[in-house]
Amino acid sequence: VVYFLGMAFGGVMHKLRHDWGINEASLMVSLDTWLHIDPHLIMFVFLPALIFGDAMAIDTHQLRVSAWQVLMLAGPGVVIGAFATAAFAHLMPYAVGWGMEGCLVLGSILAATDPVAVVGLLKELGAPDFLTILIQGESLVNDGAAVVMYEIAFDLL
């Protein structure tokens, strides 16, 4: 995937420079700005707004009914997913020099899933509300559990 993204980025840069006369300096300034953005801005401004939007759209009564199932899917699911991803990443040759702690940070970042497309498809197909609420609730708790897992893994570094 990274290879294809690099090829696409190189193709766009070539097109901008040769066909449209735009130099890469202006694009690199924008890219540099995004690369050096404060991570706390994302963590404390963007993420709460996204989670709040999802939380306001959920049926709280249905969520209370399925709370136990949501917690069982999200809590252990994030931990198992983070450790499985960390173990897999630790075995990969590109992770040479990473400790298991660094791989666990990577695993905790990748453990959270975002089922926006799945929820949209379920609503479009007319799936039972219970199933939709279960997936939405699991996503919300999953995000919170992944953030906690990341903080713990990052403190281990």
pLDDT tens-digit profile of 121-132?
888 888 888 888
CA 33 centroid distance within chain: 21
Q: pTM to 2 decimals?
A: 0.66
What one-character-per-residue DSSP string does 5-69 give? Answer: HHHHHHHHHHHHHHTS---HHHHHHHHHHHHT--HHHIIIIIHHHHHHHHHHTS-HHHHHHTHHH
- The model's confidence at residue 24, banded by pLDDT at 50, 70 and 90, is low
Q: Is 114 helix (H, G, I), strand (E, B) or coil?
A: coil
Q: What is the mean pLDDT of residues 94-118?
A: 82
Rounded to an integer, what distance in angstroms lies between the CA atom of residue 80 and that of residue 15?
44
| Residue 11 predicted with pLDDT over 80 | no
Residue 19: pLDDT band (50, 70, 90) is: low
**Which residues have CB under 8 Å from 139's CB, separation 6+?**
54, 113, 114, 115, 119
pLDDT digits (tens, 9 = 90+) for 56-88: 878 888 888 888 988 888 888 889 999 999 999
